[in-house]
Structure 1
Amino acid sequence: MRRPIDSLFGRLALLVVAVLLLSHFAWYALMRLERNQLQARYAVEEATFLVDAVRQHVVRNPDQPLPSRVKLVDPASAEVPPESPNMSPPLERFLEDVRDRMPSGTQVRAGLPGGPPTLWVRGTADHSWIVVPVQPLRPPRSLDRTVLWLIMIFSFAVMAALFAAWALQQPLRSLAQAVARFGRGLPVPPVPERGPRELRQLTHGFNQMVQEVARTENDRAVMLAGVAHDLKTPLARLRLRAEMMDEAKMRDGVVRDVDSMTHIVEQFLVFAHDGADRSEPVEVNAQCERVVRSYRAVASGAPTVETDLRAGPGFCLPAATLDRILSNLLDNAHAYGAPPIVVATARTAEGFTLSVSDNGKGIAAQDLINASRPFVRLDPARGGNGHSGLGLAIVERLVRRAGGEWEIGNHGGRGLRVLMSFPFSAVPQVKAASESVW
């Protein structure tokens, strides 16, 4: 199951959102802390200024009344608040800051709780307590506009960052898709070179590699096809001359050898063919039944071939590709395996499967890696006349070209099994029959 977090864009998005969220939260916490400190400093400055203003007013204009909420209280009055040892840390810091701004020996107290916040100050030269109003140190604040602006800025930042992450991963996604196509043996068009410098260099190197591999494959295919094509004419003349021989035993032997060589040449031509299969897609189940029926009727001494077709009508492949896959695997099972040979299809959660298995001796575990390599013939159990070592290599190339994957191995000690898997995205759809025209 594909998870979004496993993709580059998913991880970049998660990283970007986490970093932005952390930075915005830290910024918001720092802003509120700084605002509280600024408010506390402002309250200290304001209280200090009011106390100095009252002192100057008393000295210069003793007969003039004081402003409202500012008063002088006799030290013996019962209104004087006691010095409370149990104060909140913010209030204690506030009183300490005010005390530091006053002359040495100044008494600083806070007003009684329950009323308007006041500050009581009495210096060594003061005859009375000076009472001035102060701002609340921690007034209740709603998260109103600050949080609203913070959410807006965070949303725009996330959208811009996600767009940047998407633009960054797009070239990598195109390159990954091209690498996947190249790994399946499909034609790969040049990937656009875009993105950061390192990514452009990587894409340029991949394009060069694809071009060199394609050029090498083309040269090899042309050489192989040319040699195989040139051999067909002398083989045909050789077969004609062999059939004109008088001695039957020698004639049959030569004809068998010519047929084996012709089969090898045809395998060369199929392997060298690198074009896309343009044949119409057919239902795999129905085509398997037809191929197996034809194989039973034509192949001399063919072993028992059974079918177990459960994929349903949705499983379709190009007709030519499917015929070549089945013919090569059936020939391989007929030559090296033992009956019964089973052709099976199935539908899975990811797509469809097609398998061909026999009940022979199978292939040794150390030889499974080399079984599908071109021109490799496993000795001694899997050799024979008329075989070029291309059968399984052709099947692998055809399966990958059709967008599937294949797996070769011995199944439960009962011979060789070739299992081919085709995801839903790689399965072509059968065109609906055209409606009758009245």
Structure 2
Amino acid sequence: MSPRVWQVRLRTLFGWSGLALGSWAFCLLVLQVLFGQQLEQLQTVQLGRDLALNVRLTELALERYPPHLVTELTGLDLTVAVHPKPVQKLPSAGFQRQAKALQTQLCERLSHCPMVVADQDHEGERGIWIELISPLEPIWLRVNVRAPMSWPPEPTLLGLSLVGAGMICGGLFLLVEVEAPLRGLEKALSRVGDGIDPDAVPARGAPEVQRLTRRFNAMVKRLAANRNERATMLAGIAHDLRAPITRLQFRLSLPQLSAKERERCAGDLQSLERITGQFLLFAGGGDEELSVPVPLDQLLAEVASSHPADQLQLQLDTLEVMVKPVALSRAVANLIDNAFTYGQAPVVLRLLRTADQCSIEVWDQGDGMPQRLFEQALQPFHRLDSSRGGQGHCGLGLAIVAHVARLHGGHLDCRYAEDWNDLKVPGRFAIRLSFPMELLVENVSKS
């Protein structure tokens, strides 16, 4: 993965992390504003219950022990004074209201109603002084009181704010990373429905949406390629059929046909039949044919049976493969026909099995084609030699074979004798049709 992709992903991660943190802080602030008073009342009730118990226990302890010993044993903040120390900072109205509410709670839970004084220092720490009943001297107990808006927040508010932040981030994620890219994909789909080739849709948003966008772009590219092939095929039909039809019309217009002219007419008819057959093969392609287990060596031997044994030699391993037999037979027949037409006999048909694939090779003794022109030769209606079209060849032979190879999950390539170094090969040039080992029947049964 490129560094640029990592940078984009890191920026996206940091952006969404910052958004999640900001959403959580916003939700927490809103909840504290909305429910702060209710939480303060609940805290006051709970604190009043605890303070009432502490006050009662402390007063019982003071009946037997001095204040300094009670402070040492319990850790309570006790002060012996007629009045507590002066207030350092004037308490807020809300804190004074909370202190009065605590006094009310203590009056309800104790046998007497103690005096309660609010206290707040310069650092903002809040506390209250509670007057205790002592048999000898006045004693005050100081207790810290937590502010409703202090940190850490209440667990209830914390949980609710996390839920709210998750909902906000989830909604924004769906809006930005899913809905917006899907809207762009929808517009592109509508253009495809209207017959217009849209530009490639940028792959952005969630990973799932990016995968969907890439597949959509690949689909649009295939549709455009299919339209181009169809237009080229129609143009090729008109071009390739025009010459033999014109010759036939001319010869048929003659008052009397000689034996030589009849032979030429028969050759033109064969060219027409061959061209038509190639177009039908390319249009059909074998896409709808089902794959069945076939003894591939026997199928290839049957395809080669129409050629003399001294002109076409067989070197076939015994293999049973899941293939589309009709489409594969036509593809191999095209390879053999090309070898006889453009190469030199004898032609050798080989079926080999290696560790990772099985392959069909058609070797001849000709010079073959340059490696740099092989990809061009696979294009529909592309002829390396323009003079070949006069023999009923329309430039679809290798295109059909390549299409059949793709149907079986394989590929097509060319081989040269010099590439094999000192290994003995049956020819000088070969076209190889390779299939993955998964097509072998024994591998299919094992899986």
Q: TM-score, normalised by structure 2?
A: 0.48
Q: TM-score, normalised by structure 1?
A: 0.49
Q: In proportion to residue count, which structure has more helix?
A: 2
